[in-house]
């Protein structure tokens, strides 16, 4: 359900951008992100931390984009979010008992601690790469190219991240047998 709502949010952003402009699309992000939080509150009686964090980041950068009538603010949002994700993953690797991905997924996925460390580092590096790629595209390509990258490129890259991780986990499990 969560991935579908996030894809729907990006789809609405893209449609608003295509039919209007980046400022209307940024406003649509605030509204859809808020509605997603309300939906989770109504259905699950809680809002997960990532959605709440996303809502505040979307609201902040979208508001700045609209208020200053400058699309650079919304373009930096994903870079900052991905950088924060990368840092959180890295910090959990270095300074906690278990990497954050292991804490979230170890109930469902049984692999060695060393494999969790590898996955966590891979995800951290991936998010840092995406942050750098986003800012490069935002600075050196057209706004339209950036929107297409943000909506479709990031989604495809994350899909591949999940696919590569699943293949690695299955490889580790098969190797054990």
pLDDT for the residue 141: 97
Q: 58 with 97, same domain?
A: no
Is pLDDT at 2 greater than 70 in this prediction?
A: no
Same domain, 5 and 80: no
Domain-ending residue, one of 34, 69, 104: 69
82, 165: one domain = yes
- Residue 25 and residue 93 share a domain: no
The distance of Cα 159 from the centroid of its chain, to the nearest Å, equals 11
Spell out the residues 6+ positions from residue 150 whose beta carbon is closer than 8 angstroms to its own: 10, 78, 134
Token pair in block for residue 30: 């605030």
Condensed to tens digits (0 to 9), the pLDDT of residues 17-49 reads 999 999 999 999 999 999 999 998 998 888 888
| Domain boundary, last residue among 36, 54, 69 | 69
Mean pLDDT across the stretch 116-128? Answer: 96
**Rounded mean pLDDT of the chain?**
92
Answer whether residue 6 shows pLDDT above 80: no
**Count of structural domains, the chain:** 2
What range defines the domain where residue 130 resides? Answer: 71-177
* pLDDT in the model for residue 1: 62
Residue from 145, 36, 119, 52 nearest 28 by CA: 36
What pTM value is reported for the model?
0.88
Residues 140 and 80 in one domain: yes
Q: What percentage of residues in the chain have a pLDDT greater than 70?
A: 98
* One domain, residues 79 and 137: yes
């Amino acid at each position: 359900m969560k991935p579908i709502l996030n894809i729907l949010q990006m789809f609405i952003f893209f449609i608003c951008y295509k039919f209007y402009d980046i400022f209307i699309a940024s406003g649509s992000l605030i509204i859809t992100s808020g509605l997603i939080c309300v939906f989770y509150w109504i259905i699950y009686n809680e809002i997960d931390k990532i959605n709440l964090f996303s809502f505040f980041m979307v609201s902040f950068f979208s508001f700045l984009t609209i208020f200053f009538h400058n699309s650079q603010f919304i373009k930096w949002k994903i870079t900052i979010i991905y950088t924060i994700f990368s840092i959180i993953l890295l910090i959990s690797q270095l300074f906690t008992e278990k990497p954050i991905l292991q804490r979230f997924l170890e109930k469902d996925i049984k692999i060695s601690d060393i494999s969790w460390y590898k996955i966590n580092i891979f995800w951290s590096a991936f998010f840092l790469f995406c942050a750098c790629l986003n800012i490069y595209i935002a600075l050196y390509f057209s706004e339209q190219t950036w929107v297409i990258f943000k909506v479709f490129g990031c989604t495809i890259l994350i899909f591949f991240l999940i696919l590569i991780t699943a293949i690695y986990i299955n490889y580790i499990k098969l190797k054990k047998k």
